[in-house]
Amino acid sequence: MGDHDELPFVGNVNQDEFVYPWTVIIKKPCTSDLGNDRNYVEECGMGLHSKLVLGHGFTHIKVHPLWNQQDHSLSFFVRFKKDLSGFHYATSLAKSFELNGRGKKDWFGEGEKTSRLYGWMAVEDDYMTEGVIGEYLHQLGKLQTVAGILYEEVMEKNRILKKIECMYNETSLRFSNQMDKNDRLERKHSDELREMQQEHDEMKSALDTQRKELEFCRSELEKHKAEIEAAKK
C-alpha cells in the first residue's frame, strides 16, 4: 500500500442497523490482475491492518481481504470489538471516509475511481447483496441494531449480577452455618468444661470430707490409746 492509501480523519456516524460484529467495508480499485494473486491479497490485508493499528490507533481489529472479480477491486472487511467502544471506532472510521469524499455513495457513484481507499459501515443492503460481500457478511455475523446490542448487554450484565448474587448468598449461607456450628461446638465445650469443673468441685469436697473423717478417726485413736496406757498404770 502506497502513500495514496493513507486513511483520513476519524469522526462519528449514526445509523439504525448494522452488520454485527461491527464491520467496516474498505474497497481498493485494482486495475491489474494482481487480485488473483493470493499472496498479494494477503499482503494488502496485513498492510491495511498495520496502518489502522500503528497509524491510526485502532486496536482489537481483524482485517479479512477478498478479491472481487465483479468490479476488479480488493474488499477489506475490518471487524471491530463487539462492545460499544468497537461500534464507536467502526462508525468513526466509516465517517472519516465519507467526510473525505470516499464513502459508500462515492464508490457506487458514477465517475472514475481513484486508486485511494473507499470505506463505509456494513449495513443491511451490504448484508443482503449478492456476490462476495454479501456471502462473506453472512458468514461473518448477523444484522443487529444498537438498541438490540444494548439490550443484550443489559441482559448479560443482569445474568452476571444474578450469578454473583447467588454466589454471595451461597457463601453467606455457608458462613452462617459454620458460625452456628462453631457456636454449638463452643456451647458444647463450655458445657463440658462446666461439668468437669462441677465434678472436680464435688471430688474436692468429698476428699475434704474424707480428710476430716480421717483426722477425727486419728484423734479418737489417740484418745483411746491414751486411755489404755493410763489403765495399765
Domains of the chain: 17-140 (3.30.70.2890)
Q: What are 9's three cell numbers?
A: 480523519
User: pLDDT tens across 39-65, in order?
Assistant: 888 888 999 999 898 888 888 899 999
What's the whole-model pTM score?
Answer: 0.64
Which range is most confident: 26-30, 66-70, 117-121?
A: 117-121
CA distances from 213 to 204, 208, 218, 222 (A): 14, 9, 9, 14
Written as nine digits, the cell of 200 is 472436680
- pLDDT tops 50 at residue 17: yes
Mean pLDDT of 53-78: 87
Q: Is the dihedral of CA 123, 129, 135, 136 positive or negative?
A: negative
Backbone angles phi, psi at 30, to 5 degrees: -140, 105
DSSP 144-160: EEHHHHHHHHHHHHHHH
